[in-house]
């Protein structure tokens, strides 16, 4: 029988359930580590297991008995808890604090005795804090202090020890020190340990039993070697990664794949005739008679020709093309279809409709067979996309009359659905694109997919899937000519049949975690959506997807009354369009936000946050939090300076937790996006 067990446990704050009908057995004498993304319910679960939260459903059994039917002191003799941020009285010494761990063992008739003294000494010895015994706690370093807290929990001499993020705020050496102490305790005394930890690699190294949590439910549990897989990390943390054996401990080691600084596959370089070292000595294929360099060229041709074709990758390639699983060079990693391995795909589209949806808005509808692969699961909001605007003769801001584009580089052809590429090549595309000469690469601009209609939709112009994009035309007159940024100029003169390459999410591999509109209200039921015209498409999309029962305000500042658009929502969110007219950009929005979210009465909120705290640093333009359990959530997007001011107001003046406020600088005054 497990010493501690949760049965159908539901834990909730204010009727919002955080842990949902969860059942879990904590193996006796082992170290169990609970991992999961921020806000997944890890700490709440620990509090529930420690009897600090009364279940809204189910129960926790301690040694077979419902923990809530047992007296607190009795529980404290069996179970010690180290919370995430414990606080100590001013001036208290290490010995005094560790001594507090003995409280559960004292009572009316049992005073401090030699047994208590010995327990304190043992705890300090095990945690290496004996030398610090007479020092006040506030003089110690973070690592030392954490060891003292652990000593206090140890002095309780319980069979079970629960620790919530015991390594937070510690440098890596102290993190290992703390986890080593806990392991030692487990190995020498057989203490059953449960730890909430955010570092997956440390968790994999120190756990006997790993529990992965997502949205308050267990996704996987067992030995780290079986639990930590690339699929699990993607599912639980939304992070693509590689998992390799940790060369030090042999446990799984997670290597995140970011967007930048990812090694480029030798195979793909080789296919382009580039060798970091000597070209490999390749024996000609039997009967081909071709030397190795010629074969490399043939491979290049094959890769590029197949990448350019829309359908079957073997079609269109003059030379015999490598099929999925083949490799361009002997010994190189095999090639696979882009849609099997790349989260981001390049979609070839052409304009099938252009409509004016306001004085300053143009809706361009794009169609293309590639779009059958576009999407982020059933997450209609996460469709942030990049448009590849072909290079213009001026290489920068375009002028309306002469903006006819040159050819786009074929850098992205291997990322089109159906194209073949090596697995490592699926990432690093942005860096590769940036490295191209400025005059050849064109411009990349970020937009929102306002609507996506699958093939056969009754509103489609033809038989292919379609995407609508709403462009804000921020044109200005210079020297008597209309000019603007490359995307604006492209949209201003878009015509039926024009082609455009769109980079966006691969429906086969992306879900709600694909970076996008970043609307993650968690369990909030009251929301504030605020933005300028560039955020209008995103706000309208959010409004359309909101369920009934959500209330709040959507505030959208647009240049003129003619830019007000029809928006629909099932929710109870009220929508207010704010035509700017002659007001400075952002002024109306700021005042509407202020009247929607009033500053609380003096003293009602004490955030203690100074501006630096709020802004993190001067250049940050984007901060979004993972879903929280707060009842209120704000989502702000638009001109970076304006959005930053709004966010300052909400966090610093109105006292909102910064995790409740997502803010995104969609563009910057006076600064090109690219």
Pairing of strands 499-505, 344-356: antiparallel
Q: Is 666 in the site for ligand FAD (CB under 6 A)?
A: yes
SS3 for 338?
helix
366 lies in the binding site for ligand FAD (CB under 6 A)? no
Taking the complex as a whole, the smallest distance from the CB of residue 345 to ligand FAD amounts, in Å, to: 18
Tell me how far CA of residue 66 lies from CA of 5, 62, 76, in angstroms.
Answer: 9, 6, 14
Pairing of strands 344-356, 241-245: unpaired
Residue in 53, 75, 317, 487 binding ligand FAD, rule: CB under 6 A: 487
Angle (deg, nearest 10), helices 172-189 and 142-155 = 20
Q: Residue 671 interacts with ligand FAD (CB under 6 A)?
A: yes
Candidates 112-120, 187-195, 296-304, 665-673; binding stretch for ligand FAD (CB under 6 A): 665-673
- Least Å from the CB of residue 341 to ligand FAD: 25
Number of residues in contact with ligand FAD, rule: CB under 6 A? 26
Paired with 664 in beta bridges are: 622, 637
Positions in 390-409 near ligand FAD (CB under 6 A): 397
In 415-490, where do the E strands start and end?
420-422, 443-448, 451-453, 466-472, 476-478, 481-484
CB 302 within 8 A of CB 321: yes
- 638 Rama sector, left if φ>0, alpha if ψ -120 to 50, beta otherwise: left
Site track for ligand FAD across 466-485, x = CB under 6 A: ----xxx-x---------xx
Residues 256-315, interacting with ligand FAD (CB under 6 A): none
Which range of residues in 18-26, 54-62, 274-282, 660-668 is near ligand FAD by CB under 6 A? 660-668
Give the Cα separation of 34 and 41 in Å (integer): 10
Regarding 209 and contact with ligand FAD (CB under 6 A), the answer is no
Instruction: Name which position in 47, 95, 386, 445 contacts ligand FAD (CB under 6 A).
Output: 445
Cα pseudo-dihedral 334, 337, 340, 341, rounded to 10: 60
Nearer to ligand FAD, 414 or 534 (CB): 534
Q: Considering the complex, state which of residue 304 and residue 440 has its C-beta at the smaller distance from ligand FAD.
A: 440
**Per CB under 6 A, does 446 bind ligand FAD?**
yes
- Smallest distance, Å, CB 662 to ligand FAD? 12
Q: Are 540 and 519 in contact (CB under 8 A)?
A: no
Cβ 397 to ligand FAD shortest distance, Å: 6
In the complex, what is the shortest distance from the CB of residue 489 to ligand FAD, in angstroms, rounded to a whole number?
Answer: 7
Least separation in angstroms between residue 674's CB and ligand FAD is 6
Report the residue number, 177 or 470, with the smaller CB distance to ligand FAD: 470
CB of 198 to ligand FAD, least distance (A): 27
User: Can you tell me which of 366, 447, 632, 635 binds ligand FAD, judged by CB under 6 A?
Assistant: 447
User: Whose CB is nearest to ligand FAD?
Assistant: 485
Give the integer Cα–Cα distance in Å for 389 and 469: 14
| 491 neighbors 394 (Cβ within 8 angstroms) | no
Per CB under 6 A, the list member of 175, 488, 506, 630 interacting with ligand FAD is 488
Quick check: 537 binds ligand FAD (CB under 6 A)? yes
CB closer to ligand FAD out of 203 and 491: 491
Which residues is 213 bridged to in the sheet?
Answer: 36, 218
Nearer to ligand FAD, 93 or 446 (CB): 446
Among residues 127, 342, 534, 628, the one that binds ligand FAD under rule CB under 6 A: 534
The verdict on 672 binding ligand FAD (CB under 6 A) reads yes
Q: Which of 15, 156, 22, 35 is nearest to 97 (CA)?
A: 156
Residue list 415-444, contact with ligand FAD (CB under 6 A): 443
Q: Are strands 551-558 and 526-531 parallel, antiparallel or unpaired?
A: parallel
Q: How far is CA 261 from the centre of its chain?
A: 18
Contacts of 217-220 with CB under 8 Å at 24 or more apart are 217/20, 217/21, 217/22, 218/22, 218/23, 218/24
Q: Where on the chain is the footprint of ligand FAD (CB under 6 A)?
A: 384, 397, 443, 445-448, 470-472, 474, 484-488, 534, 537, 666-673
């Amino acid at each position: 029988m497990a010493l501690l067990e949760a049965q159908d446990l539901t834990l909730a704050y204010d009727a919002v359930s955080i842990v949902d009908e969860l059942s879990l057995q904590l193996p006796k004498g082992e170290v169990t580590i609970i991992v999961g993304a921020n806000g997944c319910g890890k700490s709440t679960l620990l509090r529930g297991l420690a009897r600090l939260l009364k279940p809204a459903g189910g129960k926790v059994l301690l040694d077979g008995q419902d923990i809530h039917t047992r007296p607190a002191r009795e529980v404290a003799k069996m179970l010690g808890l180290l919370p995430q941020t414990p606080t100590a009285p001013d001036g208290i010494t290490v010995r005094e604090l560790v001594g507090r761990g003995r409280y559960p063992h004292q009572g009316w008739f049992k005073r401090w005795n030699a047994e208590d003294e010995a327990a304190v000494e043992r705890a300090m010895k095990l945690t290496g804090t004996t030398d610090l015994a007479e020092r006040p706690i506030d003089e110690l370093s973070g690592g030392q202090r954490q060891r003292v807290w652990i000593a206090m929990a140890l002095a309780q001499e319980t069979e079970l020890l629960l620790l919530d993020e015991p390594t937070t705020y510690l440098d890596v050496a102290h993190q290992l020190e703390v986890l080593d102490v806990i392991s030692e305790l487990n190995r020498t005394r057989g203490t059953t340990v449960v730890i909430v930890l955010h570092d997956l690699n440390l968790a994999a190294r120190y756990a006997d039993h790993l529990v992965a949590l997502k949205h308050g439910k267990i996704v996987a549990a067992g030995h780290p070697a079986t639990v930590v897989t690339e699929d699990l990390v993607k599912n639980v943390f939304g992070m693509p990664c590689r998992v390799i054996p940790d060369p030090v401990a042999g446990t799984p080691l997670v290597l995140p794949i970011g967007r930048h600084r990812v090694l480029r596959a030798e195979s793909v370089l080789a296919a382009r005739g580039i060798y970091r070292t000597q070209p490999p000595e390749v024996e000609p294929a039997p009967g081909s008679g071709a030397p190795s360099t010629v074969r490399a060229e043939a491979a290049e041709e094959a890769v590029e020709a197949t990448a350019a074709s829309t359908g079957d990758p073997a079609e269109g390639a003059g030379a015999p093309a490598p099929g999925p699983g083949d490799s361009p060079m002997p010994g190189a990693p095999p090639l696979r279809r882009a849609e099997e391995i790349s989260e981001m795909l390049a979609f070839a589209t052409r304009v099938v409709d252009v409509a004016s949806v306001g004085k300053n808005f143009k809706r361009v509808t794009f169609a293309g067979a590639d779009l059958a692969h576009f999407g982020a699961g059933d997450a209609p909001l996460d469709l942030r996309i990049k448009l590849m605007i072909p290079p213009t003769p001026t290489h920068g801001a375009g002028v309306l009359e002469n903006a006819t584009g040159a050819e786009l580089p074929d850098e992205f052809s291997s990322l089109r659905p159906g194209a073949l590429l090596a697995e490592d090549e699926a990432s690093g595309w942005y860096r590769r694109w940036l490295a191209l000469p400025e005059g050849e690469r064109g411009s990349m601009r970020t937009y929102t997919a306002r609507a996506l209609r699958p093939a056969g939709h009754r509103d489609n112009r033809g038989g292919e899937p379609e995407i609508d994009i709403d462009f804000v035309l921020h044109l200005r007159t210079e020297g008597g000519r209309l000019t603007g940024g490359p995307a604006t100029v492209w949209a201003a003169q878009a015509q039926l049949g024009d082609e455009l390459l769109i980079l966006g999410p691969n429906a086969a591999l992306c879900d709600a975690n694909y970076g996008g509109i970043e609307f993650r209200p968690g369990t909030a039921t009251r929301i504030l959506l605020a933005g300028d015209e560039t955020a209008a498409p995103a706000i309208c999309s959010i409004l359309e997807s909101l369920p009934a029962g959500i209330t709040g305000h959507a505030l959208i500042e647009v240049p003129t009354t003619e830019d007000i658009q029809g928006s629909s929502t099932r929710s109870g969110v009220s929508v207010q369009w704010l035509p700017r007219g002659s007001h400075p950009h952002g002024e109306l929005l700021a005042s509407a936000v202020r009247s929607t979210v009033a500053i609380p009465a003096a003293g009602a909120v004490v955030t203690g946050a100074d501006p630096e705290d709020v802004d993190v640093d001067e250049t940050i333009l984007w901060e979004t939090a993972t879903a929280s359990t707060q009842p209120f959530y704000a989502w702000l997007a638009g001109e970076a300076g304006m959005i930053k001011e709004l966010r300052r107001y909400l966090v610093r003046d109105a006292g909102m937790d910064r995790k409740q406020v997502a803010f995104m600088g969609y563009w910057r005054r006076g600064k090109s996006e690219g």
